[in-house]
Amino acid sequence: MSLKTGLEWRYATKKFDNTKKIPADKLEHLLQTVKLAPSSFGLQHYEIVVVEDPAVRERLKEASYGQSQLTDASQVIVFAVETNIDEDYVKAYIDEMASARGVKREDLSGFEQYVLGSVSRLSREENINWAKKQAYIALGVLISSASELQIDSCPMEGFEADKYDEILGLKEKGLTATVMATIGYRSDEDPYANMAKVRKSDKDLFIRI
């Protein structure tokens, strides 16, 4: 299936079939695809929490205004962004880059100084906001690649981040929940599955210069 056909097929699933589970190999394929999402400087300013535990999901549902996707989907995928994007974080990334590319650490010092300059120019809050933008790119990759695999999903930001941080133990890891997606298979009873897509007309969406 082409990506366009997948995106035509997908919709923000409101009602999942709670008897259907994504096979382990498909889930792994999906997660490995999300891992390839681009991020500013490649810093991957987030971690991705895959929640399956039914008791935890029950608590997440309460912190998500009771939305049923939290407990009916196959998995809940939470994008939690780094709250401490600092010198140490950047240095660890440069270490990783030197090792992955087999280059000398000192050969990367120009790039390192450039990244450090960008990070230090921003306040802690601004760095977190920057990180959140990266998480949304990964969310887009998740939703798109799920559609190619005919896995249903619902991107979601209707939840109380503070409560998620507490339930998932994110604060002590230097993370905060930003956005999530529930993934699985649509229920035959989801009326949203057959609704026409509402999108801007080409004229209103594309500015061609």
> Strand order in 152-156's β-sheet?
46-51, 75-82, 175-184, 152-156
- Residue 156 binding ligand FMN, by CB under 6 A: yes
Gyration radius of the chain over CA positions = 19
- Residue 141 binding ligand FMN, by CB under 6 A: no
- Residue 155 binding ligand FMN, by CB under 6 A: yes
Q: Which of residues 56-75 bind ligand FMN (CB under 6 A)?
A: 67
Q: Which of residues 161-200 bind ligand FMN (CB under 6 A)?
A: 179, 197
Residue with Cβ nearer ligand FMN (14 or 59): 14
Place of tokens 């306040």: 123
What count of other Cβ atoms lies within 10 Å of the Cβ of residue 97?
A: 16
Residue with Cβ nearer ligand FMN (119 or 186): 186
Give the separation between CA 88 and CA 93, rounded to whole angstroms: 9
Do 132 and 178 contact (CB within 8 A), yes or no? yes
With contacts defined by CB under 6 A, name the span among 8-16, 34-42, 53-61, 112-120 that binds ligand FMN. 8-16
Residue with Cβ nearer ligand FMN (12 or 137): 12
Pair of tokens at residue 192: 């949203």
Residue ranges binding ligand FMN (CB under 6 A): 11-12, 14, 67, 154-158, 179, 197
